[in-house]
Structures are given as C-alpha cells and as structure tokens.
C-alpha cells in the first residue's frame, strides 16, 4: 500500500504537556491517532516519526525521497519545529531528496515573535498549513493526497 510520512522535529514530543495556550492539550500520541485515521480514510499507510536530532531528520528525509521515487509513498507532512527558522541543512535535504513536503505549524507563527516569521523550509515545500492547531495534521495529509492525485 502507498504510504504517507508525518515527520516532527525538536521538542514536539512535549506536545500536550506544556504551553497549552500556544499548542493545545493534545499529545503527540493522540496526533498520531488522528493521522492514522485520516491516512486510513484515504487508503494510505502512515509512518509517524519525531526526533530532536537534525541528522536523524535529514536521514529520514533522504529515505522518504527514495520511497517516493520507488512509488511507495506520496511524500511527507513535516512540522520542523524550531528547525524551521534555523536550518539550511533541512532545506537542502528536502531539495536534494526531491521530497514532496507539506510544511505544517500548529500555531500561527506569523502572529508570534519576529524570529518565527522566517522559514528555511517554505521555499522547498509544496504547501504550507499554519495555525489550525493539531487539526492541521489531517488537513495537510488530505492536501498532500489531493496534490498527488492531481499529479502536481
Ligand atoms: O507551531 C508550530 O507547530 C511550531 O513548529 C512549533 C515549534 C516552534 O519552534 C515553531 O516556531 C512553531 C515548537 C515545538 C515545541 O513544542 C512544544 C510543545 C509543548 C511544550 C513545549 C514545546
């Protein structure tokens, strides 16, 4: 079966434990269940991952690019966390792997501090979902699936 990857960057393992006023009170395990449900509804297998380590995320992006090329995956929904605002390496990984990525942020980063307004990921993303809370995850899976079906 074709799969979709949902990738989460640093500190997202803390989701639901702190800062509920910014990120809500849903845990990452519950987000995984929501993604599982949406992927299943679309006839996709889900791979759901989180890491606090940039190199690990780069390796997963390279692997995901190979899976897309092999016809086994439609691409990735990616919440890069704070790497969004700092990482040229992750930008280069997505570009180099030619991985179709929907960049996702739980919070509306544009309503927050100035340093969150710039993203190194957006220029290499196919689409961006921002500010829908954790509902953005199933929305982004759906959007990536629709782009894939259109062949675009
Ligand atoms: O809004 C988002 O999804 C972010 O990608 C979350 C990142 C932040 O650095 C980005 O600017 C926007 C932070 C993820 C850390 O999440 C936490 C959750 C609960 C408690 C502490 C951190």
CATH architecture, domain defined by 3-111+132-150: 3-Layer(aba) Sandwich (3.40)
Interval between CA 118 and ligand 1 midpoint (Å)? 14
102 alpha carbon, distance to own chain's centre: 6
pLDDT, one tens digit per residue, over 6-19 is 999 999 999 999 99
For residue 74, count CB atoms less than 10 angstroms from its CB and return exposed for 0-12, middle for 13-18, buried for 19 or more: buried
What are the sequence ranges of the domains in the chain?
3-111+132-150
Q: What is the pTM (predicted TM-score) of this model?
A: 0.97
105 classed as catalytic = yes
Radius of gyration of the chain from its Cα atoms, rounded to whole angstroms: 14
Residue 18, ligand 1, Cβ within 6 A: yes
pLDDT in tens, 37-64: 999 999 999 999 999 999 999 999 999 9
Is residue 53 among the annotated active site residues? no
Q: Is 15 in the pocket of ligand 1 (CB under 6 A)?
A: yes
The whole-number average pLDDT for the span 66-85 is 98
User: What pLDDT sits at residue 21?
Assistant: 93
């Amino acid at each position: 079966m074709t799969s979709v990857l949902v990738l989460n960057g640093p500190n997202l393992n803390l989701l639901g434990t702190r800062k509920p006023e910014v990120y809500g009170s849903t845990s990452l395990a519950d987000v995984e269940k929501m993604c599982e449900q949406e992927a299943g509804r679309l006839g996709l297998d889900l791979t759901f991952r989180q890491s606090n380590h940039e190199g690990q995320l780069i390796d997963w992006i390279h692997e995901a690019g190979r899976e897309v090329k092999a016809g086994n995956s439609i691409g990735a929904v990616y919440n890069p966390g704070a790497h969004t605002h700092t990482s040229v390496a992750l930008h280069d990984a997505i570009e180099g792997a030619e991985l179709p990525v929907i960049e996702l942020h739980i919070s509306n980063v544009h309503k927050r501090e100035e340093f969150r307004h710039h993203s190194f990921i957006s220029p290499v993303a196919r689409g961006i979902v921002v500010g829908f809370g954790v509902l953005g995850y199933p929305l982004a899976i759906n959007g990536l699936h629709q782009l894939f079906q259109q062949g675009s």
